């Protein structure tokens, strides 16, 4: 019987990260999924209990404690299984992988913010210069992954790799015109392989 509740929105790439971790660590049966439909200007009362900023994903533990932010939840879940850790537990390797995971999350932050700017903000209030800056952050980060971190990504499907895979999937979903594959063929080959993992197939946005 599930002892935890995950507040879930199926198109959120941050929620997808958590779902991929649940699949990869064999913890799906421990978590009940509770769907919510929120926007930057519309919350959900149940989500906000113990989570005053109303952030998703949020994970309510069996004792009622609520964890929010995908990084926090993924680290918690990584401590709850007996298999290979998704992040090194200590040492310089841990900080390096956490930094790569943060870079993947920064791509997601920029991509989600851009989506809200286009889809939610009234057209006459959109800031094109700000949108261009977010896209440039994404381009720089993807270029850095391509040039400097392909070997690390290929070494295992850990939290950094999961975050990047979800970021690339979100770009395909929300900004298919971005054209990242042409600029980063090495990442494209890596993503083509990891996108076929059962955890990625099961969590692919519809």
**Angle (deg, nearest 10), helices 13-24 and 159-174:** 140
Residue 30 lies in a domain: yes
Q: Which tens digits make up the pLDDT trace of 13-56?
A: 999 999 999 999 999 999 999 888 766 666 677 787 887 888 88
Q: Where in the chain does DSSP place strands (E)?
A: 4-8, 31-35, 58-60, 66-68
Domain presence at residue 56: yes
Cβ burial, residue 37 (10 Å; 0-12/13-18/19+): exposed
Same domain, 72 and 97: no
Rounded distance between C-alpha atoms, residue 117 and residue 120, angstroms: 6
DSSP output for 95-113:
HHHHHHHHHHHHHHHHHHH
Its domain, for residue 185, covers 91-197
Q: Total structural domains in the chain?
A: 2
My answer on whether 96 and 171 are in the same domain is yes
3-state secondary structure of 131: helix
For 180-201, the pLDDT digits (tens) are 999 999 999 999 999 999 999 9
Residues 164, 128 share a domain = yes
pLDDT of 99-138, one tens digit each? 999 999 999 999 988 876 676 666 677 678 878 899 999 9
Q: pLDDT by residue (tens digit) across 56-114?
A: 899 999 999 999 999 999 999 999 998 899 999 999 999 999 999 999 999 999 998 88
Instruction: Confirm whether 83 is domain-assigned.
Output: no
Residue 182 resides in a domain: yes
Same-domain pairing of 124 and 160: yes
**Rounded to an integer, what distance in angstroms lies between the CA atom of residue 201 and that of residue 116?**
25
């Amino acid at each position: 019987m599930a002892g935890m509740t995950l507040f879930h929105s199926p198109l959120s790439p941050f929620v997808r990260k958590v779902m991929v971790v649940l699949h990869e660590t064999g913890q799906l049966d421990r978590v009940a999924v509770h769907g919510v439909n929120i926007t930057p200007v519309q919350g959900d009362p149940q989500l906000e209990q113990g989570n005053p900023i109303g952030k998703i994903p949020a994970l309510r533990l069996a004792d009622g404690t609520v964890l929010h932010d995908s990084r926090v939840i993924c680290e918690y879940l990584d401590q709850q299984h007996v298999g290979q850790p998704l992040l090194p537990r200590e040492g310089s390797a841990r900080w390096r992988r956490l930094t790569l995971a943060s870079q993947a999350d920064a791509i997601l932050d920029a991509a989600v913010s851009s989506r809200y700017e286009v889809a939610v903000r009234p057209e006459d209030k959109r800031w094109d210069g700000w949108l261009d800056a977010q896209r440039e952050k994404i381009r720089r980060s993807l270029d850095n992954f391509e040039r400097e971190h392909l070997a690390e990504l290929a070494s295992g499907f850990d939290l950094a790799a999961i975050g990047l895979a979800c970021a690339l999937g979100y770009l395909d979903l929300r900004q298919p015109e971005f054209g990242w594959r042409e600029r980063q063929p090495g990442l494209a080959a890596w993503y083509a392989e990891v996108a076929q993992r059962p955890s990625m197939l099961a969590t692919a946005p519809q």
